[in-house]
Chain A
Amino acid sequence: MALIKTKGFVLRAVPVGESDRIISLLTEAHGLISVSVRGARRARSPHVLTTQVFSLGDFELFANKNRYRLQSSELIEPFSALQQDLERLVCASHLAEVMLDILRDDLPQPGLYRLWAYSMQAISHAPDPLLAVHAAQLRLLMEVGFAPRLDSCLGCGKPVDTGNWRYSISAGSIFCDKPACGMRSTDLLPLPSGGLACLGHIRQAPLGRLFDFSLSSEIRRFIIAFSASYLTYHLDKVYTRLDMLRHLKPADPS
Chain B
Amino acid sequence: MARYAPSIGRLITELAKLPGIGGKSAQRLAFHLLGQPEDQVSALANAILDARKTIRLCSVCCNLTDQDPCEICASPARDHTTICVVENPRDVASIERMHEYKGLYHVLHGAISPMQGVGPDQIRLRELLARLRQDDSVHEVILATNPTVEGEATALYLARLLKPAGILTTRIAHGIPMGGDLEYADEVTLARAMEGRREIG
A contacts, CB < 8 Å to B: 12, 17-19, 40-45, 48-49, 51-54, 78, 80, 82-86, 89-90, 92-94, 96, 240-241, 244, 247-248, 250, 252-254
Contacts and interface: CB of A to CB of B under 8 A. Distances in A.
Q: Which 5 A-B pairs have the closest CB atoms?
A: A43-B180, A48-B179, A93-B114, A83-B152, A254-B165
Nearest to B158: A253
18 contacts: A12-B115, A19-B184, A41-B179, A41-B184, A42-B180, A43-B177, A43-B180, A44-B177, A45-B180, A83-B152, A84-B156, A86-B112, A86-B156, A247-B121, A252-B165, A253-B129, A254-B133, A254-B164
Nearest to B155: A83
Contacts of B152: 80, 83-84
B66 to A, nearest CB: 27
B153 interface: yes
A83 B143 CA distance: 15
A55 to B, nearest CB: 8
Given A84-B152, A247-B120, A253-B132, 5 more contacts: A83-B149, A89-B149, A89-B153, A92-B114, A244-B114
B115 A53 contact: yes
A82 B153 CA distance: 8
Interface residues of B, number: 31
Contacts, number: 92
Contacts of A94: 114
A43 B181 contact: yes
Contacts of B148: 52
B189 interface: yes
Interface string B108-146: 000010110101110000000100110000000000000
Nearest to A83: B152
Contacts of A254: 133, 164-166
Nearest to A12: B115
B180 A82 contact: no
Nearest to A82: B149
B130 to A, nearest CB: 9
Contacts of A93: 114-115
A47 B162 CA distance: 33
Contact of B165 (A51, A54, A90, A253): A253
A247 B157 CA distance: 12
Contacts of A12: 115
